Amino acid sequence: MGRMDEWPAWQRWGIWLVGWVLYLGPFWLLFTTDSLALRLVALAVLCGGLLLLTYSSKAVLNERMRKIDRWQLYVVLPAMLVYMLLMLYVFPREAHIATPWLKALVALSPTLPLIFVAWAVVRYVNRCDEMERRQHLEAAGVAVIVVSLGSMALGFLGAAKLIALDGALVLLMVLPVLCVVYGLACTWSKWRNRAR
Amino acid sequence: MKNRVRELREAQGWSQGELAEHLDVSRQTINAIETGKYDPSLPLAFKLARLFKQRIESMFEPDEGR
């Protein structure tokens, strides 16, 4: 079989597409089914899809999986699994809890695995090579600019009473949008420098 | 900065990936150095020079046009 980054381009892109299907399909299923068994199967398939997607994403950019990439994957994947389980099964319980401190504990529980992921990302970036660290810095800068300008624009529109904003929802969206823009900026930078 | 990294790598018969493994960097970093999109730090430049048994000044040359 050999290393995935040495496979022919159509195989690497094919595996990458399969990875996306195995990632997005179960994701959709998680939010549309109430069956516990189906949700557990979806979570397992989603993890497999994420694993495949990470390996193939490196391969389509002609990059090998290094020790630090594998470390990052094997640390972040379980943490994200814990996060999804907390979001699906623990966070919704806060609506039925009256004690304030317990309600706060349950409501804040999904942030614990995310703190762990943040630590893992910092550790990963510190172990990347010098050009990759510059790419991460640029991507973080782009993400901060996009999110802060977007937030400011939304704030102006809200202050002008042109749109109605749900404060909690807007705050909840900050981290995911930051991560998506950061990821896109990183991918764009890596794509420009992909080796042929 | 102009450099002879591609020329020296090809003389060794290495791919970008193989050179990246020797230097413990990513393949895109090698590609960016070879295409002049990225100038390596002094420690990485020294690693390259040692690997190819060259003097740094014979591998890297300031690009006066930039």
Render pLDDT for B44-56 as a digit per residue (tens, 0 to 9): 999 999 999 999 9
Would you list which residues of chain A are within 8 Å, Cβ to Cβ, of chain B?
Answer: 5, 61-64, 66, 128-132, 134, 190, 193-196
Interface test with A, best of B14, B25, B27 (most A CBs within 10 A): B27
pLDDT for position A4: 83
In A, minimum Cα distance to B29 occurs at A131
Q: Look at residues A111, A119, A113 and name the one whose alpha carbon lies nearest to residue A171.
A: A111
User: Which segments of chain A have a pLDDT < 70?
Assistant: 1, 195-196
List A23's β-bridge partners, or say none: none
Do residues A119 and A72 lie in contact, with contact meaning Cβ atoms separated by under 8 Å? no
pLDDT for position A35: 86
Render pLDDT for B6-61 as a digit per residue (tens, 0 to 9): 999 999 999 998 999 999 999 999 999 999 889 999 999 999 999 999 999 999 98
Do residues A157 and A163 lie in contact, with contact meaning Cβ atoms separated by under 8 Å? yes
CB-CB neighbors (< 8 A) of B17 in chain A:
5, 62, 64, 195
3-state SS class at B61: strand
pLDDT for position A58: 85
pLDDT for position A62: 81
Interface test with B, best of A57, A134, A193, A194 (most B CBs within 10 A): A193
pLDDT for position A61: 83
CB-CB neighbors (< 8 A) of B26 in chain A:
63, 66, 128-129, 131-132
Asked if the Cβ–Cβ distance from B31 to A195 is below 8 Å, we say: yes
Asked if the Cβ–Cβ distance from A131 to B32 is below 8 Å, we say: yes
CB-CB neighbors (< 8 A) of B28 in chain A:
61-63, 131-132, 190, 193-195
Partner A contacted by B45 (CB < 8 A): no
Question: How many interchain CB pairs under 8 A, A with B?
Answer: 50
Helices (runs of H) and strands (runs of E) counted in chain B = 5, 2
Name the band, by pLDDT with cuts 50, 70 and 90, for residue B66. low
pLDDT for position A65: 86
Share of chain B above pLDDT 90, in %: 80
Partner A contacted by B17 (CB < 8 A): yes
